[in-house]
Structure 1
Amino acid sequence: MKLEYSRPGSHGNFGDDLNEWFWDEVAPGLLDDDDSTILLGMGTIFSRWFTDQLPADSQKIVIGSGGGKAGGPPHLDDKWHIYGVRGPLTAAYSGLGQETVLTDPAMLLRDFPEFSDLGPRRGIGFMPHIWSLDHWDWEKTTRELGLEFINPRDEAKGTVRRIGRLEGLITEAMHGAIVADAFRTPWIAVGIAPGFETSKWCDWAASLGMAMTFHSVRDVYAPKRSTSLRIIKGAIKEGLHRVGIKAGKRARPRSGEWDVADMKGRLRSLIEQKPYQLSDEAKLDAALERTRQAIARLRQDAASGKFARK
């Protein structure tokens, strides 16, 4: 059985990178490189934008993946084995019953022995999404505001430990909130980048019976790139213009002082007001147990030869 999950670029992304070692921990011996059976990992990948890339004749297993992106839901036939999905929005989107709702499997990280003793809690963290990371020096801004910068491209296990030791987390990355909630670190969801996706957050939160509150932080822009690169790009655009070829949309202007001040002001307000969220412990426990049972069923079916190549 081969694991497939989203890999957006070569620099890593916390929520996707968890897949690299998570499944070997919760289901040892389940995975190999045999793509006659595909296990869809964590992420918003239970949609045709992703599933159409998988081998057409392979069996596909879904256990906690989310849906809702471009292309619509996959056409489900006898090659699909649905052990559960991330939340009720994914279930409805995919034409499945609410009995298939689990939660995001990453919440099971609280069961892992290596994360059982993370030490005392200290500080408030800030975690941008990778979409925002290259637009602004968030690490510098985080230090200026007295926050701990959590880089979504850092090694995932270290990031889990850092989140679990925080007193609170302000996060644009959904799996930052998911891991924080699992370890009972209060969190605040912020939207920064224009492509911020609220639906996947609401899908996960609804699996825990929790209403989402989103806070807006101004999207600021000052990309890290060399002066020489800007000169080269400018020369190319000028050359294209002279021969009558359009070079695409105009480059985004750098953010001004007002925009930067507004961004910092909104973050300071969140730090001071502390509008934290945290799921109900009993509902979290119930969702985790559903997910544990689904993984146990999958392991039993795999051991019985249900997915063996014919």
Structure 2
Amino acid sequence: MNEKKKNLINIYKSIDKALKKLIETNAKEYLEPFKDKPWYGIALEEYKSMSKSLLDMLGKQAELYGNLIDVKELFNKKKVIDEDNEDNEDDEDVEDTTDEILEYEDIINDDVQSVLEEIKEKIIEELEEFFEEDIEKELIFIAAEEAAKNIGIEFNFNKFNEFTRDYLKDKKIEWTKQVAETTEKRVKEILVKGYEKGLSSHDIAELLYHDGIFGYNRAETIARTEIIGSCNYTDYTMWHFDDNIYGKKWSSTGGPRTRESHATASGQVKKLDEPFIVGGEKLMYPLDSSLGASAKNIINCRCTMFYLTKEEYEKEMKSARR
């Protein structure tokens, strides 16, 4: 092995080591409010594993979108637009630019849409597989076992599986489509932005490749949201198997990063099968999207909830009425 190759390997090893350290540090910081939860250790390991896996997956998707720039017809039509505009130099510059951008957006929608759809379908397929293997078959059930132990009941795999099957299926589809559609929208924005600036196809490809939607922050946001949401879901599900649990209480983590609507919801008390009302939306538990809660109520949420016996529930309700 020559010296240059050795140096490159060492550089990549150092980068990988630094990335693992960053993920671990961020995982511990982000999960700090959940240290008392029975599934904390499981969530911590899953956070690190999922962040790294998603980062690799998004990197591959970035390359696919970068290859999109090889659709030569798009840039050939761009040249035609440019030539047409040169023939009409007497028109107002602002009007020309606006029309030009609108024409270019039409080209993207018409000529690139089929390619975008193909890539989007591939992303959805890979994310669904990832969700099924990494979340549904691993994290959900392991966390449920720990949650069951915490409330002193025996974990029944078959009963739990029957209880969650349809919900998990719906959640998986909604989650993956949202990620893919957000990515597609951002890609279109970058294409138009690159055109406005007169960039070459290579430069636009670079913009796509280095954009934040394919980077570490994107991977970590997905990991955070899905892991905490899944663990909160296991708590909510397992509580149904304990006759002593009657209600639930929302709890936000506090601090400057907590969104106002979640801080307001902190302390809200509901019966177990009644939804919390947070920012005007219904959630059965923090990060729940099954009742139509929007992304602004879910992404990067660190709220949790506590169960209440009937006596504790009635005491909380009596206190709230004062």
Q: Pick the TM interval, shorter chain.
A: under 0.3
Q: Which has the larger radius of gyration?
A: 2
Higher strand share: 1
* TM-score of the superposed pair, with normalisation by structure 1: 0.24
* TM-score of the superposed pair, with normalisation by structure 2: 0.23
User: Quick one: higher RCO (CA 8 Å, sep 6+), 1 or 2?
Assistant: 2
